[in-house]
Amino acid sequence: MTLRFYASVDPDGLVDALNAAQPRLPSATATAGPQPALLGDRIWMVPIGGLETLADRVAAATSHLAPPEGPRPFSGHLTLARARHPADLRDLSTRPLGVEWTVREVVAFQSHLTSSGARHDPLGRWPLSSE
């Protein structure tokens, strides 16, 4: 789950900000569903709820590194598939879900684009507190 996307920031600054914020980052119960959804005719995704407070605290702790992502509130989701061309994915979005799990850590990744695809290297892990 992406809590916050940073197009380009100093990795050391991000690690420092998350180190300082760690005591205020609460664990969360994430819930998938109620069912997969379509975004247009190319993206199949599952809404994920329960991460709003955690995402807000990560954004607040790192606001000095990057401007806010805009006026839209955080919208947790998991992208399951992306079609290169328009596709009829309606049959994939009819089954209800009821999956729930406890989020126990935040991991920051640095992405590197290569000719064979993207590589995501972890910069650090921050265990979450139970408030």
Q: How many Cβ atoms are within 10 Å of 72's Cβ, its own excluded?
A: 7
Please give the domain boundaries of the chain with CATH numbers for all domains. 11-125 (3.90.1140.10)
The pLDDT tens digits for 19-63 are 999 999 999 999 988 877 777 777 888 889 999 999 999 999 999
pTM recorded for the entire structure: 0.81
Residue that wins the pLDDT comparison between 119 and 95? 119
Which position has the token pair 């605290």?
57
